[in-house]
Chain A
């Protein structure tokens, strides 16, 4: 990804502002990394114009395609912000700043809460919370898969993609086939134009 036309570079205080914004979003990121993506888009692309539309959406797509947690899309946003502002060195600084900002507050809060919950795990309220959330969490996980499947459907007929998604879900659920084989098959079917 190279510097995008129409995107403004960041100067001194802008980086601090960006860091503060990510610190705040970190505490609001309940329900997963991608739930903050709409707000990041509003701030970085629409309000500050530090990133282009293409840079934003390709950051999310690449992070999804690469191995590792989805939160890495924030690292790529930082990378692009730095590239727009100067070059690879600033881009690396952008990665560090963005990741630290989005992870630091949530990590502290979650660690303290989980340690407390573990010390008090025999309390009825703690047991009720953990077990009670389980069915809702499972429903949300299925919903996440559904939404991810839908976002891939911008171009071309959708049913072959749905078929591939469903087949994957059933195969992984019912067999011990390794995930990498399925991903390779998906890439191959894509290149051949079958999906």
Chain B
């Protein structure tokens, strides 16, 4: 086992299905404009279920598999210790309360949606939500320390992924598969067998 993996194995995990459900409920209801940023803070910094590096790795799996990223992340983490039941508990936690809230919001929006103050408030919150996701990306770059490819190559890959999507308008799945396979092959070559 490498040092990175030992760290991963030593993390304290969820103790029960209830804890899984509640943890994911709590992080979901804080997640305005997407849960990813909050998931990182709760799971890595507060609960310490995952290290920085492990979080990035699980997030990569969650992204490359079909399905919504944060739902995939929750089911991977829930499934790790408790199998199917854990995966379902984590996903249920992620969905139940937020679903109720968003439906209430939809009903309210039907009545207030045209009000200019509501429209402007949503605009401001949208800008903040975008910043939250960028901050999560910046924080995660800390997890690249000790990466087999080295800081320079990692930085170049991240910039290429960003530029491909933002400047060249490549579809995300293509970037993920295209640049991702280059990165994986290079990493494979660098890793000890």
A interface vs B, CB < 8 Å?
A: 1-2, 26-33, 35, 58-59, 61-72, 75-76, 79, 95, 99, 102-103, 105-107, 109-111, 113-115, 117-118, 121-122, 124-125, 127-149, 151-152, 155-156, 161-162, 164-173, 179-180, 182-183, 185-191, 193-195
- Shortest C-beta distance, A64 to chain B (Å), equals 5
Q: How many residues of B contact A (CB 8 A)?
A: 109
Report chain A residues within 8 Å CB of B147: 131, 134-135
B interface vs A, CB < 8 Å?
A: 1-2, 4-5, 28-38, 53, 56-57, 59-72, 75-76, 79-80, 83-84, 87, 91, 94-95, 97-99, 101-103, 105-107, 109-110, 113, 117, 120-141, 143-144, 147-149, 153-155, 157-162, 165-166, 171-173, 175-176, 179-180, 183-188, 191-193
Number of A-B contacts (CB under 8 A): 391
- CB-based contact A67/B127 at 8 Å: no
Given A127-B191, A139-B157, A143-B161, is A133 in contact with B64 using a C-beta cutoff of 8 Å?
yes
* CB < 8 Å neighbour of A65 from B33, B149, B186, B193: B33
Given A70-B34, A136-B175, is A106 in contact with B67 using a C-beta cutoff of 8 Å?
yes
- Give the top 6 A-B pairs by smallest Cβ distance, nearest first: A68-B98, A168-B131, A190-B124, A139-B161, A106-B67, A132-B184
Sample 25 A-B pairs with CB under 8 A, ordered by A number: A35-B172, A59-B106, A65-B32, A68-B102, A69-B31, A69-B70, A110-B61, A110-B66, A129-B184, A133-B57, A133-B176, A136-B179, A140-B63, A140-B165, A141-B136, A143-B172, A146-B162, A169-B138, A173-B138, A182-B128, A183-B125, A186-B124, A187-B125, A188-B124, A195-B124
